[in-house]
């Protein structure tokens, strides 16, 4: 067993101890995000029904959306490669008074919209500025090096309202570092999503990532345990675990309750998390080995 494996085993035991010690660990979202409902920039109307979910889950900081036609009419354009999101609505077709057989009916329609962050050339005076409380972010060198040197690193985008990983696009989405309550919480969330990405078929390949199931399912819950344990291991390596431990324990407890299992499930999750840790650390481990050989 390597030194890192021994340390991570100790971290697992510590988190199990924290979870067993209290039943009142509240998980807190560690970043600030905009609370405005998704709305059309031109009409000012809020989107309704399932559209709220569809647009909110895109994770853009700005709540303002436009159709392609509206973007063009404002003198802007959609950036190359950006994808639209469908917005659905019901169109009511009235019955014909002169035809008793023709009854009224509802027809489902849709059109596609883009967030203002996907566009360029829009008049600045026409796009409201969304104010999000921020703090000054100081990059942590050891954490930045880990992410920068990760083998076969996924794309990472910032400025979103959600922290997430998309297996189909192999892309990590993150809120801006300045929106987090602390630098440690930022790196903890980033490590969590990166550990999800290690499950991609181009890396170690975990079934829960390659064959995604519904939110809250057994496989999904286990995958969350793996990602959060991997994040804890990486935070331990970077020396910031004490700053994130309480929230990590609360997050783990929440998913354990969904699994209706005891904290010993973390031992199994820790095994998969160790593989993610080893994958991310691969370049760093090789570098350290070379340094040891040179010293000898």
What pLDDT is recorded for position 290? 47
CB atoms within 10 A of CB 260: 9
Phi, psi dihedral angles at 39 (to 5 degrees) = -150, 160
**Low-confidence stretches of the chain (pLDDT beneath 50):** 286-287, 289-290, 292
Tell me if 144 sits within 8 A of 127, measured CB to CB: no
How many Å apart are CA 211 and CA 223, to the nearest integer? 11
How many Å apart are CA 112 and CA 69, to the nearest integer? 10
CB neighbours of 126 closer than 8 A, spacing ≥ 6? 41, 74
157 SS3 class: strand
| 105-115 vs 64-67, strand pairing mode | antiparallel
Q: Compute the half-sphere exposure of residue 213: CA atoms within 13 Å on the CB side of its CA.
A: 12
Buried b (16+ CB within 10 A) or exposed e, 14-35: ebbebbeeeeebeeeebbbeee
What pLDDT is recorded for position 285? 54
What pLDDT is recorded for position 201? 92
What pLDDT is recorded for position 142? 95
What pLDDT is recorded for position 295? 54
Q: Which residue has the tokens 């972010």?
A: 137
CB atoms within 10 A of CB 153: 15
How many Å apart are CA 100 and CA 54, to the nearest integer? 39
pTM of the model: 0.77
Q: What percentage of the chain has pLDDT greater than the value 90?
A: 53
Return the domain boundaries, the chain.
Answer: 3-31+133-295, 39-126
Phi, psi dihedral angles at 64 (to 5 degrees) = -95, 130
What pLDDT is recorded for position 236? 95
What pLDDT is recorded for position 216? 62
SS (H, E, C) 198-233: HCCCCCCCCHHHHCCCCCCCHHHHHHHHHHHHHHHH
């Amino acid at each position: 067993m390597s030194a890192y494996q021994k340390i991570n085993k100790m971290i697992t035991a510590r988190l199990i101890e924290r979870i067993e010690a209290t039943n009142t660990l509240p998980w807190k979202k560690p970043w600030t995000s905009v609370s405005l409902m998704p709305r059309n920039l031109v009409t000012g109307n809020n989107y309704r029904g399932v559209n709220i979910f569809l647009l909110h889950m895109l994770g853009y900081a700005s709540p303002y959306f436009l159709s392609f036609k509206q973007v063009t009419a404002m003198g802007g354009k959609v950036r190359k490669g950006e994808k639209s999101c469908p917005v659905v609505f019901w169109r009511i077709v009235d019955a014909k008074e002169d035809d008793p057989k023709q009854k009224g009916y509802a027809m489902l329609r849709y059109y596609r919209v883009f967030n203002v962050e996907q566009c360029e050339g829009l008049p600045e005076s026409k796009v409201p500025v969304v104010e999000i409380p921020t703090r000054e972010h100081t990059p942590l060198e050891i954490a930045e090096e880990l992410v920068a040197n990760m083998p076969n690193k996924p794309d990472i985008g910032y400025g979103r309202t959600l922290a997430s990983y998309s297996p189909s696009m192999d892309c990590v989405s993150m809120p801006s570092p300045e929106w987090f309550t602390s630098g440690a919480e930022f790196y903890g969330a980033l490590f969590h999503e990166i550990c999800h990405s290690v499950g991609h078929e181009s890396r170690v390949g975990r079934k829960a990532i390659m064959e995604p199931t519904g939110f809250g399912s057994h496989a999904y819950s286990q995958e969350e345990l793996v990602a959060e344990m991997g994040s804890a291991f990486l935070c331990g390596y970077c020396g910031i675990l004490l700053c994130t431990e309480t929230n990590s324990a609360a997050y783990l407890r929440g998913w354990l309750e969904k699994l209706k299992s005891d904290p010993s499930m973390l031992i199994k999750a820790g095994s998969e998390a160790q593989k993610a840790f080893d994958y991310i650390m691969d370049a760093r481990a090789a570098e350290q080995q070379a340094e040891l050989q040179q010293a000898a």
